[in-house]
């Protein structure tokens, strides 16, 4: 084995280590498929009476949150499903902003998924019958990029808007909201 | 303004306007000030037709004041000499904080207020000190309707006729309420929010019919106007603004003036297959009425989606004006201001009826300060364009060909899918949006509250999903030349020129009120309610309200015989959604790109919904 070849192996190994360190995404190409018939989401509520505790973060969250392919597909759906028509590129319009630090119905990824799936009474449509569970979770993963929640290497550095919208990698991170329990 | 003629075209050229604009911009910059730039019109000027504008009885029963839509009060106690003494008489909180665009109505000692969603209807007793509430009617529209209302959850007004108040709800109902008791007389569901339809316009009651149209031009709806029987609420007719002639109520009486509007089923043929079914053409603005010919006149909204590459063709009958018979709905003429609209230039603005000197007699016309930036004078019997003159800065169009009636496009500004077209003036809300001007028969001038905004327009493919937005554009707006985002312009419709203009820092989103005393009123989005001299635009008085003003001011005679001025302050609407909707203007595309021009508004005003009533001290 030549020293040059050993150096290459070393370089590849280091690169692999560096990539692993980024924790950019977790792909599950051999894992069990995600059950698409399971309703998405979690209650947006923060008061659990009688000393009961809010449920823990949905187990599916880690499959989507901070996951570059999921975020990229969510971004595509955000435009194609007309989310952009109401929420613009995060600043809102007919619907509330998604780039600020206010979450009416919770800013946890499972709470966002619940809002998309079930709709909300002041005008948010219920998308449960139009999108699969997997698509809803991908959308929720992308929505969290609008307030800069995922790490910068999981999001795109190209602006998806035509007119001077900021690329996701430059989106400032908003402070976690009180209901955003995953961040506390 | 001089007229440019060539061998081929007779064109009201933008070049000439640019010269005129320059003349009026000697006081440029965002500060507000008035400039007098010409003599007053002589005695022989425009007048509203008497049948459409009867003598003022001191009430204010419909948003336009009368069928001619003059928004002119014949009360004359308040004058330039005494207006500085104008003082607050009473206030009232409407318990709403979304954009308040409606006028108060006053009928024989009672004031009626219709609020934005949830569309409360209040009756206040003007005969008692402090104007206590007589009753409140809560129609309980569906909360979900807020999610399909494109540009804030506004309502543009109620109307009174024959003992009843008529108004529309955001979720698509028309309701008649007994004006004395506040009890419901009838309600009719007309719109369907599942398809993205809302109703925000003020109805017009004429000849026993309640005229109503839908909103939702950004949601892929199919636009219509309908007439309900005034007594029962039953649907008398409904005319769509796209589709086959039988749906549009185009029949033997239809005689459009220009060849481009003649032909069978143009509402189908001027679209790609089936695109007319989701092509917009809504009726969310104003309707005027000529009692002599029993014709209504109304403007039609934008075609959908905004991305013009998805709808090649003239897209009839969008962005134009229809005249229809009030009893049957049958169309009598149509004029398309901007065939194949490129910029969301809805043509829904107010239509003022006037008779102007013509030869040795008078000619019945319409005045239309249109969104595309031109002040139209059109024969109201035929739709023929007599003049079309820019009343501010326009570069999106080159002028109007008076032979063919066609708008001459500026092809440099054509949006194309997949690219950003920059510096389009006027921007999507137009040189002037929904907020109506006032026409004073005393001065013969039209007082135009308007915008000075330009935009970058990025066209992207829109995907139709019923009940969701169908736009396909990333827009970013900003101030036009001069840096002021708004202006208040006194326009001489006969000589086609500005008489004076007040530049305003913010877009002027409130309607105007003209009075016989020679004082004109309007509000600003940072909350100043202003009185200016009708002759020269000099600021005479102002009052700082608790929220930005986009509501329509009115003037009425109180039970004590005094002249009152009333306006509701409540910032919002498309221009103010950044405040009323708590939007985040760091994203330049917010509120269809309007918020980029309004980043400073949240620091200049806060949301509200408060009535202010003023009068002179005894």
pLDDT exceeds 50 at position B120? yes
- In a domain, residue B502? The reply is yes
Mean per-residue pLDDT, B134-151: 97
Task: Give the CATH number for residue B241.
Answer: 2.140.10.10
Inter-residue contact B476 to B588 (CB < 8 Å): yes
Residue B274 confidence (pLDDT): 97
Calpha distance A65→B602 (Å, rounded): 33
Q: Mark yes or no for CB contact B147/A164 under 8 Å.
A: no
Inter-residue contact B114 to B102 (CB < 8 Å): yes
The number of distinct structural domains making up chain B is: 1
Residue A157 confidence (pLDDT): 77
Determine the distance from the C-alpha atom of residue B79 to the mean position of all C-alpha atoms in its chain, rounded to a whole number: 27
Identify the band that residue A168 occupies on the pLDDT scale cut at 50, 70 and 90: confident
- In a domain, residue B142? The reply is no
Q: pLDDT digit string (tens) for B506-562?
A: 999 999 999 999 999 999 999 999 999 999 999 999 999 999 999 999 999 999 999
Calpha distance B451→B430 (Å, rounded): 7
The answer to whether the bond into B302 is cis (omega within 30° of 0) is no
Percent of chain B with pLDDT over 90: 92
Identify the band that residue B45 occupies on the pLDDT scale cut at 50, 70 and 90: confident
Residue B69: which of B292, B226, B296, B386 has the closest Cα?
Answer: B296
Q: Residue B253 in 3-state DSSP?
A: coil
* Dihedral sign (CA A13, A17, A23, A28): positive
- In a domain, residue B378? The reply is yes
Q: Indicate the CATH number of A59-184 among 1.10.760.10, 3.30.420.10, 2.60.120.10, 2.40.50.100.
A: 1.10.760.10
Residue B33 confidence (pLDDT): 39
Domain limits, chain A: 59-184
Mean per-residue pLDDT, B111-118: 98
- In a domain, residue B146? The reply is no
Residue B25 confidence (pLDDT): 37
> Cβ contacts of residue B248 below 8 Å, gap of 6+?
B239, B240, B241, B242, B267, B317, B331
Q: Residue B244 in 3-state DSSP?
A: coil
Crossing angle between the packed helical segments A68-80 and A133-143, to the nearest 10 degrees: 100
Mean per-residue pLDDT, B384-400: 98
- In a domain, residue B227? The reply is yes
Identify the band that residue B10 occupies on the pLDDT scale cut at 50, 70 and 90: very low
Mean per-residue pLDDT, B372-382: 98
Q: Which residue of B has its CA nearest to A88?
A: B590
pLDDT exceeds 60 at position A181? no
Q: Which of B458, B588, B592 has the CB atom closest to A93's CB atom?
A: B592
CB pairs under 8 A between A and B: 116
Identify the band that residue B492 occupies on the pLDDT scale cut at 50, 70 and 90: very high
Q: Residue B19 in 3-state DSSP?
A: helix
Residue B39 confidence (pLDDT): 41
Q: pLDDT digit string (tens) for B431-458?
A: 999 999 999 999 999 999 999 999 999 9
Q: How far is A111 from chain B (nearest CA, A)?
A: 19
Calpha distance B423→B89 (Å, rounded): 46
Mean per-residue pLDDT, B110-114: 98
- Note down the domain range covering B393: 4-135+154-615
Q: Mark yes or no for CB contact A122/B147 under 8 Å.
A: yes
> Cβ contacts of residue B383 below 8 Å, gap of 6+?
B256, B257, B258, B321, B323, B333, B334, B335
Residue A48 confidence (pLDDT): 83
For testing the chain A interface, which of B152, B585, B589, B593 should be mutated: the one with the most A CBs within 10 Å? B589
pLDDT exceeds 50 at position B3? no
Q: How far is A56 from chain B (nearest CA, A)?
A: 30
pLDDT exceeds 50 at position B22? no
> Which residues of B belong to the active site?
218, 302, 344
What is the greatest pairwise CA distance in chain A? 70
Q: pLDDT digit string (tens) for B265-299?
A: 999 999 999 999 999 999 999 999 999 999 999 99
Provide the whole-model pTM.
0.90
Nearest 5°: CA angle at A144, between A139 and A146?
Answer: 100
- Strongest mean pLDDT among A16-25, A53-62, A150-159, B418-427: B418-427
Residue B519: which of B487, B550, B557, B553 has the closest Cα?
Answer: B553
Calpha distance B197→B192 (Å, rounded): 5
Q: pLDDT digit string (tens) for B223-248?
A: 999 999 999 999 999 999 999 999 99
- In a domain, residue B276? The reply is yes
Residue A59 confidence (pLDDT): 85
- In a domain, residue B346? The reply is yes
Calpha distance A151→A56 (Å, rounded): 22
Identify the band that residue B24 occupies on the pLDDT scale cut at 50, 70 and 90: very low
Q: Mark yes or no for CB contact B474/A163 under 8 Å.
A: yes
- In a domain, residue B149? The reply is no
Neighbours of B464 (CB within 10 A): 17
Q: Which two tokens stand for residue B292?
A: 């002599």
pLDDT exceeds 60 at position B257? yes
């Amino acid at each position: 084995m030549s020293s040059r070849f050993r150096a290459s192996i070393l370089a590849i190994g280091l690169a692999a280590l560096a990539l692993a360190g980024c924790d950019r995404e977790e792909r599950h190409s051999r894992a069990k498929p995600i059950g698409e018939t399971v309703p998405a989401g979690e209650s947006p509520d923060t008061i659990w009476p009688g000393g009961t505790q809010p449920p823990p973060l949905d187990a599916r969250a880690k499959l989507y949150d901070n996951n570059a392919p999921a975020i990229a597909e969510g971004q595509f759906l955000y435009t194609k499903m007309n989310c952009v028509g109401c929420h613009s590129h995060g600043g809102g319009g007919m619907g509330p902003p998604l780039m600020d630090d206010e979450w009416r119905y919770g800013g946890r990824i499972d709470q966002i998924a619940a809002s998309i799936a079930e709709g909300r009474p002041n005008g948010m449509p219920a998308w449960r019958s139009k999108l699969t569970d997997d698509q809803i979770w991908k959308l929720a993963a992308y929505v969290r990029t609008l307030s800069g929640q995922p790490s910068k290497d999981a999001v795109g550095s190209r602006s998806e808007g035509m007119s001077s919208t900021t690329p996701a990698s430059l989106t400032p991170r908003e402070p976690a909201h009180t209901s955003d329990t995953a961040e506390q | 303004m001089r007229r440019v003629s060539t061998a081929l075209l007779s064109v009201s050229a933008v070049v000439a306007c640019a010269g005129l604009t320059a003349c009026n911009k000697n006081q440029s910059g965002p500060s507000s000030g008035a400039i007098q730039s010409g003599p007053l019109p002589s005695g022989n000027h425009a007048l509203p037709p008497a049948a459409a504008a009867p003598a003022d009885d001191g009430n204010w029963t419909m948003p336009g004041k009368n069928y001619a839509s003059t928004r002119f009060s014949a009360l004359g106690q308040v004058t330039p000499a005494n207006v500085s003494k104008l003082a607050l008489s009473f206030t009232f909180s409407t318990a709403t904080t979304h954009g308040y665009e409606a006028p108060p109505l006053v009928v024989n000692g009672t004031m009626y207020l219709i609020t934005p969603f949830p569309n409360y209807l209040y009756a206040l007793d003007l005969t008692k000190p402090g104007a206590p509430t007589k009753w409140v009617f809560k129609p309980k529209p569906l909360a979900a309707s807020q999610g399909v209302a494109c540009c804030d959850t506004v309502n543009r007004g109620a109307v009174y006729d024959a003992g009843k108040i008529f108004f529309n709800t955001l979720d698509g109902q028309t309701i008649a309420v007994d004006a004395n008791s506040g009890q419901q007389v009838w309600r009719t569901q007309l719109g369907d929010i599942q398809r993205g339809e809302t109703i925000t316009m003020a109805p017009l009651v004429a000849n026993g019919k309640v005229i109503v149209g839908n909103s939702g031009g950004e949601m892929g709806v199919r636009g219509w106007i309908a007439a309900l029987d005034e007594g029962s609420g039953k649907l008398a007719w409904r005319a769509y603004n796209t589709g086959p002639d039988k749906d549009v109520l185009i029949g033997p009486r239809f005689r459009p003036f220009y060849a481009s509007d003649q032909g069978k089923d143009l509402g189908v043929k001027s679209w790609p297959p089936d695109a007319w079914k989701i092509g917009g053409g809504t009726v969310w603005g104003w309707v005027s009425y000529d009692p002599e010919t029993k014709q209504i006149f109304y403007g039609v909204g934008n075609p959908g989606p905004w991305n013009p590459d998805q709808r090649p063709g003239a897209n009839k009958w969008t962005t134009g004006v229809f005249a229809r018979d009030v009893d049957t709905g049958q169309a009598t003429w149509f004029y398309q201001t901007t065939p194949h609209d490129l910029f969301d230039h809805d043509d829904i603005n107010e239509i003022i009826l006037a008779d102007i000197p013509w030869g040795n007699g008078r000619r019945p016309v319409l005045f239309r300060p249109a969104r595309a930036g031109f002040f139209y004078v059109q024969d109201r019997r035929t739709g023929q364009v007599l003049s079309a003159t820019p009343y501010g800065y326009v570069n999106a169009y080159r002028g109007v060909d008076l032979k063919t009636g066609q708008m001459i496009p500026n092809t440099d500004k054509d949006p194309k899918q997949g690219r950003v077209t920059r510096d389009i003036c006027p921007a999507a809300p137009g040189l002037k949006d929904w907020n109506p001007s006032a026409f004073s028969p005393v001065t013969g001038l039209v007082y135009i509250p308007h915008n000075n905004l330009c935009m970058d327009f990025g066209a992207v493919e829109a995907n139709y999903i019923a009940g969701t937005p169908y736009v396909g554009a990333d827009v970013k707006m900003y101030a036009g030349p001069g840096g002021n985002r708004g202006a208040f312009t006194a326009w001489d419709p006969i000589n086609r020129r500005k008489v004076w203009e007040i530049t305003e820092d913010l877009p002027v989103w409130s309607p105007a009120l003209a009075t016989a005393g020679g004082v004109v009123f309007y509000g600003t989005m940072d909350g100043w309610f202003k009185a200016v001299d009708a002759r020269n635009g000099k600021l005479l008085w102002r009052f700082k309200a608790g929220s930005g003003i986009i509501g329509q001011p009115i003037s009425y005679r109180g039970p004590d015989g005094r002249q009152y001025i009333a306006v509701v302050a409540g910032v919002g609407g498309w221009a103010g959604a950044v405040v009323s909707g708590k939007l985040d203007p760091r994203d330049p595309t917010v509120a269809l790109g309007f918020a980029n021009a309004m980043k400073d508004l949240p620091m200049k005003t806060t949301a509200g919904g408060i009535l202010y009533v003023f009068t002179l001290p005894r």
